[in-house]
Amino acid sequence: MTRANVTDDIEAIVEDTDLPRRLKDDVYSTIEERDVTVEEADQIAKAVQSRYQETRVDPLDPVGTVSAQSIGEPGTQMTMNTFHYAGVAEIDVTQGLPRLIELVDARKTPDTPMMTVHLEDEYATDREKAHEVVWKIEATRILALGDISTNVADMLVQIDLNEETLMERWPTVDQVEDVAEEIAETIESKLAVQTRQAGTMIEFGPEEPSYRDLLQLVEELREVVFKGIEDISRVVIRKEETDEGEEFVLYTEGSAFGDVLGIEGIDASRTTCNNIHEIYRNLGIEAARETLINETMHTLEEQGLDDVNIRHLMLVADIMTNRGEIESIGRHGISGNKESVLARAAYEVTVNHLLDAAIHGEVDVLEGVIENVIVGKPVQLGTGDVDLRMGASQD
Amino acid sequence: MVDVSQHELVPDHSIVDEDVLDDVLEEYNIKKTDLPKIKRTDPATPDEAEVGDVIKIVRNSRTTDQAVVYRLVVS
């Protein structure tokens, strides 16, 4: 790669430094602006390099402890109670401390799962097309389609479907009767009953006349999903500004990341969700790590605590994904899998750990921080790791 | 199924050659088993990777432009 505005000499000097790409680029742009000589460029590069090396973490620095403090202190300022708020697109999202705890605990399902669904091509620009995708995702239950009434005299459940709603939600079907037929078939297979359908009216009843069975059928009917994905209860459509103009973005309440990725019209390269386990299952450990960092940083930013350095969150995410799967921070995850008995016992359920260790004859080599604090030895960090000996001879 | 590698959250995964790997391990002065792990069944693991292979991952890093990390494939 050659740069237009700097000489080969300067480029050789800068490329020779021990700097990361981004800093090198910064050095180039500074040099270009100031019109400097080769000697000056050399001085600039040297100065930047020494500054960069100074700010690096020293060997034996307790980065984990520093991270814990750096996330813990702002954590004390976060909202304790789950204030659901109508933020982006009026969807309730858990935030603040509960969300942060949820993330580091690696809960299987978040309190408020949600997805951000991006669309591709004409689906992103055409509102009608975008709505087509919405109906494919959002779970459609019977109450959204028409009115149910129970006829106790004839022991029948009667459904009066709304014609307009049907045409809106099944945009690809031309005839209302076809949709009604499809709905009737779904009811037959899900509830195991015989239905009679005429126009937009559907009626069915229990095999034996029984008031209890009739009510039971109505209850079950309410839960049947006729279209869309069961876990997604609501979809909000929003127009957003991008670099290339405007596009429609969908926000969903509830998530089914794997199912959604396969749906036509969805941009499977940008769609995300806030459940790290779903990301891990569908996109792998690296994507899960990325999402963890994004979500933790976002949670902190939301609370105005954006001056937490991203490196701390990256470290947390690195540790949580170190074994190739998501581990929580705590008794069942990272802390519970520590080698040292004393370290585990110091965390939670002390007696159980000590008892188990005694039964199995475990040995503690006293290498970690906690063990050494317990036994009162210098911790093997920083200067504590270095043994100094005085030389016998003097010269 | 969807092509996982196309997703913007998924960085490049590639298998590391045996001799390149030795240089890497020597540079960091570690054993292969000290590396972070990745599951054989992980959606982003290249199809031809086997248990014991090392995967090179080139991330778009937030702190440097690109960060190269390695993961050992485990079952």
Identify the CATH number of the domain in which residue A121 sits.
3.30.70
* Helix residue ranges, H only, A162-204: 163-169, 176-191
The answer on A313 and A244 residing in a single domain is no
Answer yes or no: is A395 within a domain: no
Considering the domain architecture, whether residues A118 and A267 belong to the same structural domain is answered as yes
Which among A227, A261, A286 is the end of a domain?
A227
Does some domain include residue A330?
no
Shared-domain flag, residues A103 and A222: no
Confidence of residue A68 (pLDDT cuts 50, 70, 90): very high
What chain B holds in terms of domains, given with CATH numbers, is 4-74 (3.90.940.20)
Would you call A282 and B59 a contact, using CB atoms and an 8 Å cutoff?
no
Q: What is the structure's pLDDT at A86?
A: 47
Instruction: Note whether residue A186 is domain-resident.
Output: yes
Predicted pLDDT at A284: 93
ipTM associated with this complex: 0.94
* Residues of A engaging B, defined by a Cβ cutoff of 8 Å: 20-22, 25, 261-262, 268-270, 272, 279, 281-287, 290-291, 293, 310-311, 314, 318, 321-325
Domain boundary among A170, A200, A227: A227
Does any CB of chain A come closer than 8 Å to the CB of residue B49?
no
Average pLDDT over residues A87-94: 70
Same domain, A343 and A368: yes
- pLDDT, residue B1, reads 58
pLDDT of residue A118 exceeding 80: yes
Q: Are residues A235 and A370 in the same domain?
A: no
Asked whether residue A389 is assigned to any structural domain, the reply reads: no
pLDDT higher than threshold 90 for residue A28: no
Overall domain count for chain A? 5
Query: How many Cβ atoms from other residues are within 10 Å of residue A322's Cβ?
Result: 16
* Site from B6, B9, B65, B66 to mutate, A interface, most A CB atoms within 10 angstroms: B9
| pLDDT at residue A87 tops 60 | no
pLDDT computed for residue B73 by the predictor: 94
Q: Which of A312, A314, A268 is nearest to A290 (CA)?
A: A314
A221 and A354, same structural domain?
no
The 10s digit of each residue's pLDDT in A293-312 is 999 999 898 888 889 999 99
Q: What is the pLDDT of residues A259-304, one digit of tens each?
A: 898 888 898 899 999 999 999 999 999 999 999 999 999 989 888 8
- Would A391 be classed as within a structural domain? no
The model's pLDDT over A33-61, given as tens digits with 9 standing for 90+, comes to: 887 888 888 888 889 999 999 988 888 88
Which among A171-175, A292-296, A337-341 has the top mean pLDDT?
A292-296
Q: CA-CA distance, A305 to A299, in Å (whole number)?
A: 9
Residue A393 belongs to some domain of the structure: no
Of A227, A261, A282, which residue sits at a domain end?
A227
Q: A70 with A212, same domain?
A: no
| A260: nearest Cα among A236, A212, A228 | A228
A71 lies in the same domain as A41: no
CATH number, domain of A365, equals 1.10.150.390
Phi, psi of A85 (to 5 degrees): -135, 160
A298 in a domain, yes or no? yes
Residue A209 pLDDT exceeds 60: yes
Residues in chain A within 8 Å Cβ distance of B44: 283-287
Digit-coded pLDDT (tens) for A121-160: 888 888 888 888 888 898 888 888 888 888 888 888 888 8
| Shared-domain flag, residues A49 and A16 | yes
Q: Can you give the residue range of the structural domain that contains A147?
A: 140-227
Tokens at A61, concatenated: 């620095």
pLDDT of residue B31 exceeding 60, the answer is: yes
- Token couple for A360: 């199995």
Q: Which residues are bridge partners to A273 per DSSP? A: A115
Same domain, A246 and A293: no
pTM for the whole structure: 0.84
Q: In A, which residues are within 8 Å of B70 by CB distance?
A: none
User: Is it the case that residue A22 has pLDDT exceeding 70?
Assistant: yes
d(CA A192, CA A335): 51
The distance of B67 to chain A (nearest Cα, Å) reads 10
Q: Using CA atoms, how far apart are residues B65 and A341, in angstroms rounded to an integer?
A: 40
Confidence of residue B37 (pLDDT cuts 50, 70, 90): very high
Q: Are strands A245-253 and A272-273 parallel, antiparallel or unpaired?
A: unpaired
Whether residue A22 sits in one domain with residue A32: yes
For all residues of chain A together, what is the average pLDDT? 86
Residues A318 and A342 in one domain: no
| Residue in chain A nearest B1 by alpha carbon | A262
Burial category of A342 from C-beta neighbours within 10 Å (exposed 0-12, middle 13-18, buried 19 and up): buried
